[in-house]
Chain A
């Protein structure tokens, strides 16, 4: 379980705190999505949780111990695949730096198959489509074998059709793997489809929104009455924000 207590962070060049006294609990194997308007500090919070920024004050604990970067697999907004390395070499990048990460060639082939990337292991990223690049980048994050995954708007740059495909793929993969996932998203439907809970970040504070949709989830649920009702509730919270 991740526990965030009274977290405060401000960038040196700003007077106002970007993250102001945030408290948050993320349960084991939970899929939590953080939504909010642009500039509300979603990505900053994720970067703090991923150990990429140091807080001014407050605590971040993982199972009662200080949370550190070796427990978190981080996926930035852009795919950031290295164009001079093959897909397999990109996925194995974490192994290059951390000898404790172990997976065999067969396991890698299995994951490539899961990501519909069979036959692309030796390809270079520039030969892949946007969705394929994101799937490869996600595999790189997943195969860090870390218990928590932090995903910063991984599908933000994709077209809506590819984004829908990627969401289905991710929800399927998460239901299979059951890792703790923290996702940043602008897309309320994406948040509803994927998450157990949604955290709405506003200037006033955090609102927790439990998603009450049955699992396994499927994109067709978007058209169900309960999905539409929950989306409207979410929109109201975001619209009423000062």
Chain B
């Protein structure tokens, strides 16, 4: 059983490995110039040589902006979703705004945030928040809305108040959808922070990537992208681990 679980990643890992070997060969044989696509070993060597700068001066900043933006999105998103669920007037008032916030391209809003918050981390946090906030609101709100009428009627017959229905029924019922949204949101938050850094910043992996691009240093650009991608995967996996703890009853179902 354990072996079959390990083997499930084999097709992905072998495809990635094959692609990396192919790129390495294409670059080494000069079929593709290395300023267009650098060799994977070249990127690795660049990462190794610049690890200290990349990790402590840039990746840490990007991570901090991502986590701040995500935390704001989680707190404000959950609060708004709960208010919209409990008071329909909030739904009518705020749902269109939440939707509207997603129809404007982030790339167009980013300069406005930089204008408002300057080059500090807060402009990046704001972009990160904006991009991560929507899936959280929609995930939790729709999850709570999917509570069955039968369950709501049962709670009513048991004498539960409006808030007791929320905490004992609708909110836990929505947790699977919320956790799926959080998995999306944490990755989106990282994308938002990188976009912000790309447009206006003096630190962070987005900024580093843009600087390297300006210097035509493809290895530097790909090194930053590799780190961003790794950060995204690690954050996603951490949320997936948390999901198993939060939605523990799904594990009971699998075992039974």
With A and B bound together, what is the CA distance between A144 and B168 in angstroms? 17
With A and B bound together, what is the CA distance between A124 and B247 in angstroms? 12
Chain B 53-79 interface 0/1 with A at a Cβ cutoff of 8 Å (1 = within): 000000000000000000000000000
- Across the interface, name the chain A residue whose C-beta is closest to B253: A126
Given A82-B172, A96-B164, A126-B253, A77-B150 contact (CB < 8 Å): yes
Chain B 166-199 interface 0/1 with A at a Cβ cutoff of 8 Å (1 = within): 0011001001000000000000000000000000
Within 8 A of A (CB), among B104-122: none
Question: In angstroms, how far is the closest chain A Cβ from the Cβ of B223?
Answer: 44
Given A82-B172, A84-B172, A126-B253, A97-B150 contact (CB < 8 Å): no
Judge whether B153 and A76 touch: CB under 8 Å.
yes
Chain A 126-164 interface 0/1 with B at a Cβ cutoff of 8 Å (1 = within): 110000000000000000100000000000000000000
Question: In angstroms, how far is the closest chain B Cβ from the Cβ of A48?
Answer: 12
- Across the interface, name the chain B residue whose C-beta is closest to A100: B159
Tell me, yes or no, whether A78 is within 8 Å of chain B by CB: yes
Tell me, yes or no, whether A94 is within 8 Å of chain B by CB: yes
Judge whether A82 and B157 touch: CB under 8 Å.
no
Cβ 8 A contact of A126, one of B150, B158, B168, B256: B256
Judge whether B158 and A93 touch: CB under 8 Å.
yes
Tell me, yes or no, whether B3 is within 8 Å of chain A by CB: no
Chain A 75-100 interface 0/1 with B at a Cβ cutoff of 8 Å (1 = within): 01110101110000000011011100
Chain A 41-70 interface 0/1 with B at a Cβ cutoff of 8 Å (1 = within): 000000100111000000000000000011
Tell me, yes or no, whether B156 is within 8 Å of chain A by CB: yes
Residue tally, chain B, CB below 8 Å to A? 23
Judge whether A50 and B157 touch: CB under 8 Å.
yes
Tell me, yes or no, whether B154 is within 8 Å of chain A by CB: yes
Tell me, yes or no, whether B161 is within 8 Å of chain A by CB: yes
Question: In angstroms, how far is the closest chain B Cβ from the Cβ of A127?
Answer: 4
Contacts of B159 in A (CB 8 A): 69-70, 94, 97-98
Judge whether A47 and B150 touch: CB under 8 Å.
no
Tell me, yes or no, whether A72 is within 8 Å of chain B by CB: yes
Tell me, yes or no, whether A9 is within 8 Å of chain B by CB: no
Judge whether A52 and B156 touch: CB under 8 Å.
yes
Cβ 8 A contact of B148, one of A70, A80, A96, A127: A80
- Across the interface, name the chain B residue whose C-beta is closest to A150: B157
Contacts of A144 in B (CB 8 A): 158
Within 8 A of B (CB), among A145-192: none
Tell me, yes or no, whether A74 is within 8 Å of chain B by CB: yes
Question: In angstroms, how far is the closest chain A Cβ from the Cβ of B158?
Answer: 5
Contacts of B164 in A (CB 8 A): 96-97
With A and B bound together, what is the CA distance between A106 and B151 in angstroms? 28
Contacts of A78 in B (CB 8 A): 148, 150
- Across the interface, name the chain B residue whose C-beta is closest to A83: B249
Chain B 135-166 interface 0/1 with A at a Cβ cutoff of 8 Å (1 = within): 00000000000001011011111111100100
Contacts of A127 in B (CB 8 A): 252, 255-256
Question: In angstroms, how far is the closest chain B Cβ from the Cβ of A211?
Answer: 27
Contacts of B157 in A (CB 8 A): 50-52, 69, 72-74
Contacts of B154 in A (CB 8 A): 74, 76, 80
Contacts of A98 in B (CB 8 A): 158-159
Judge whether A84 and B249 touch: CB under 8 Å.
yes
Judge whether A126 and B161 touch: CB under 8 Å.
no
Judge whether B249 and A97 touch: CB under 8 Å.
no
Question: In angstroms, how far is the closest chain A Cβ from the Cβ of B173?
Answer: 8
Q: Which of B148, B249, B253 has the most CB of A within 10 A?
A: B249
Known: A74-B157, A82-B172. 5 other contacts (CB 8 A): A51-B157, A73-B157, A82-B169, A84-B249, A97-B158
Query: Can you list the 9 inter-chain pairs with the closest CB atoms, starting with the nearest?
Result: A74-B157, A126-B253, A83-B249, A76-B150, A124-B252, A127-B256, A97-B159, A97-B160, A94-B158
Interface residues of A (CB under 8 A from B): 47, 50-52, 69-70, 72-74, 76-78, 80, 82-84, 93-94, 96-98, 124, 126-127, 144
